[in-house]
Amino acid sequence: MSGSSRVPAAADPEDALRIAEEAVRLAVAAGASEAEALVASGESALTRFANSEIHQNVASTEAFVNLRVAKGRRVGVASSGRTDPEGLRALAERAAAIAANVEELDDWAGLPEPNGAPEPVVAAWSDGTGGAGPELRAEGARAVIAAADAEGVAAYGSFSTDVEAHAVANSKGIRVAERRTTSQLLTVTMGPDNGTGYAEDCSVDATRIDAAALGLEAAQQARASANPVDLPPGDYPVVLNHYAVVDLLDMLGYLGFSALAVAEGRSFWEAGKQAASPLVTVTDDGRDPDGLPMGFDAEGVAKQRLALLDRGVCRDLAFDAQTAARAGRRSTGHGLPAPNPWGPFPVNMSMAPGDASLEELIGGLDRGLLVTRFHYTNPVYPKRVVITGMTRDGTFLVEGGKIVGPVRNLRFTMSYLDALAGVEAVGRDRRTLRGMLGGCTVPAVRLSSFSFTGATRAG
């Protein structure tokens, strides 16, 4: 796919840093003892298609300034979309006024201090996305639609590109800025007799997304999943495709790999605990070029590579400045924009690949299920990461290592820890997808058992 050479001026990291520094200066002038400004600016564009026709193309250029101000132990936060001098002055005065009128925080540890300037992450930016116009997204959408037409199904979905500058400055000397690009193409296909399919890919470089291959994947899935039959609930060995594995990592990150969750006693995580199969290694690395990289967090702290699960053993956690101070260690670069009651999260997770092809994963099932993805998943018992949800867009019965036909979507209630403890094999091919927390690079996996508790009549 081709693009243009146009790069939005709004995605200028030096300009974003200048705005952040000015917001901090104005906050200090307004009486702040500490101040921190996060600036994100850039352009987001989206092309949508439905019923195998492109029907919408939109683009927006936006800037966001988030200002955190401390007056002693009183902390106020305000945000604005204005970056002009008067807008920044009003923002600083508002944040300072909030700080003056809130209760003191007993455990306020202060803003983070510089710990060496983070090296810019070159892999976070692609000229292919930076210069992408509507023509590139339309070309991708047409490729998906052509694949759907060839299989006699209808295509729905979107192709998005984001070009951003991020900067953080604070009154203790942090000054960081970088530019980032991301793109995502996803499609849902619908065929006759309740057949549906799904495919997705994310990349820093929009020109590397193979729209035709994604369209074919989803279209063939829709044809293959037509006329699904009932299958009784129960425990079945399963192969989870990439899209389902993302949900496993998302929920572990959301519920368990956070220092705040551990401190509050609501996480499964214990240092040195065998929490998953030795085949499972999960890391979080903001500099991983295979994911959606970023060099620093919302507090301007350089991102560290974390070994969250090392061959199934709990090794490390995500910390921000506040949780790190409580634990007597440094932030790992996982702070979210203030105000943040949720604590730090891993937002660049990946699972190490294995050596099996998808066909080999399926071939290891005597009688089990191939699951394309999960839908509407929610925690039931957070500390054990017990999740309830449904399968969607292609659930297939496998017998003797061969797919024999589609089954109706099933509801499950399952501990994702138990699921990962039962990993028997891991796929060698990985895909970068957009999860609930951020970019996630995952393989497919085969599990010894997965608990399905009910069926649905929804195709």
Mean per-residue pLDDT, 266-270: 97
3-state helix, strand, coil in the chain (%, to 5): 25, 40, 35
How large is the average pLDDT for residues 158-168? 98
pLDDT band of 459, cuts 50, 70, 90? very low
Alpha carbon dihedral 361, 367, 373, 376, in 10-degree steps, equals -150
Residue finishing a domain among 155, 184, 211: 211
Whole-number Å distance between alpha carbons of 93 and 105: 21
State pLDDT tens for residues 34-78. 999 999 999 999 999 999 999 999 999 999 999 999 999 999 999
What integer pLDDT is reported at residue 19 of this predicted model?
A: 98
Do both 320 and 255 map to the same domain? yes
Residue 267 has phi, psi (to 5 degrees) of -115, 150
Instruction: Give residue 456's pLDDT band: very low, low, confident or very high (50, 70, 90).
Output: confident
Q: Bridge-partner residues for 69, per DSSP?
A: 35, 76
Cα dist. 322→85, 94, 260, 342 in Å?
31, 23, 9, 12
CATH code of the domain in which 84 resides: 3.30.2290.10
216 in a domain, yes or no? no
Asked whether residue 188 falls in the same domain as residue 326, the answer is no
pLDDT, average across residues 292-319: 97
Question: 406-437, pLDDT tens digit by residue?
Answer: 999 999 999 999 999 999 999 999 999 999 99
Instruction: For Cα atoms 133, 187, 452, give the angle at the middle one, nearest 5 degrees.
Output: 150
* Residue 33 scores a pLDDT above 50: yes
Q: How many domains, the chain?
A: 2
Would residue 3 count as lying in a domain?
no
pLDDT for res 3: 44
Gap between the Cα atoms of 154 and 360, Å rounded: 30
Name the token pair of 100.
């003056």
pLDDT of residue 257: 98
Note whether residue 146 is domain-resident. yes
Q: Please give the average per-residue pLDDT across 106-132, as a whole number.
A: 91
Of 451, 423, 5, 13, the closest CA to residue 207 belongs to 5
Average confidence score pLDDT of the chain: 96
Question: Rounded to whole angstroms, what are the CA distances from 145 to 134, 135, 212, 274?
Answer: 16, 15, 9, 46
Per-residue confidence (pLDDT) for residue 308, from 0 to 100: 98
Q: What is the model's pLDDT at position 11?
A: 86
Tokens 């499972």 appear where?
A: 280
- In a shared domain, residues 181 and 248: no
**Cα gap 293→440, rounded to integer Å:** 10
Residue 217 within a domain: no
Residues 379 and 422 in one domain: yes
Cα–Cα distance between 228 and 370 in angstroms, integer? 13
Q: Is 387 a member of any domain?
A: yes
**If pLDDT is split at 50, 70 and 90, which confidence band does 149 have?**
very high
Using the 3D structure, point to which of 211, 245, 279 is the last residue of a domain: 211
Residues 174 and 206 reside in one and the same domain: yes
- For residue 57, count other CB atoms closer than 10 A to its CB: 16
Sign (positive or negative) of CA dihedral 447, 448, 452, 455: positive
Task: Decide if 274 contacts 311 (C-beta within 8 A).
Answer: no
Per-residue confidence band for 457, with pLDDT thresholds at 50, 70 and 90: low
Lowest model confidence (mean pLDDT) among 1-15, 97-111, 354-368: 1-15
Residue 1 in domain: no
Q: Are 24 and 127 in the same domain?
A: yes
pLDDT of res. 5: 45
pLDDT digits (tens, 9 = 90+) for 355-375: 999 999 999 999 999 999 999
Residues 190, 131 within the same domain: yes
Q: What is the pLDDT of residue 120?
A: 80
Residues 182 and 281 in one domain: no
Q: Could you tell me whether strands 313-314 and 306-310 are parallel, antiparallel, or unpaired per DSSP bridges?
A: antiparallel
Distance CA 195, CA 225 (A): 5
Helix axes 85-100, 13-29, angle to 10 degrees: 50
- pLDDT for 7: 57
Clarify whether residues 263 and 346 are in a common domain. yes
Looking at 159, 183, 211, which one is the last position of a domain? 211
pLDDT band (50, 70, 90) for residue 4: very low
Statement: residue 2 has pLDDT above 50: no
| Segment holding 175, helix H or strand E | strand 175-190
pLDDT of 10: 73
Q: Are residues 335 and 452 in the same domain?
A: yes
Instruction: Give the pLDDT confidence score for residue 399 in this predicted structure.
Output: 98
Q: Is the peptide bond before 406 cis (omega within 30 degrees of 0)?
A: no
pLDDT of residue 160: 98
Nearest alpha-carbon partner for 208 in 99, 148, 292: 292
The reply to whether 275 and 304 lie within a common domain is yes
Tens-place pLDDT, residues 168-216 = 999 999 999 999 999 999 999 999 999 999 999 999 999 999 999 999 9
Clarify whether residues 316 and 441 are in a common domain: yes
Position 238 in a domain: yes
3-class SS of residue 205: coil
Neighbours of 440 (CB within 10 A): 31
The one-letter amino acid code at 182 reads T
- pLDDT confidence of residue 6: 55
Question: Is residue 283 a contact partner of residue 238, using CB atoms and an 8 Å limit?
Answer: no
Gap between the Cα atoms of 269 and 26, Å rounded? 42
Quote the CA–CA distance of 182 and 166 in Å, as a whole number.
13
393, 188 contact by CB (below 8 A): yes
∠ CA 372-449-272, nearest 5°, is 105
Q: What percent of the chain lies above the pLDDT cut of 70? A: 97
CB 286 within 8 A of CB 298: no
Domain membership of residue 222 (yes or no) is no
DSSP code, position 332: -
- Rounded CA separation 371/358 (Å): 12
Report DSSP state, residue 308: E
Q: Nearest Cα to 364, choosing from 354, 373, 375?
A: 354
Containing structural domain, residue 248: 228-459
The predicted pLDDT at position 389 comes to: 97
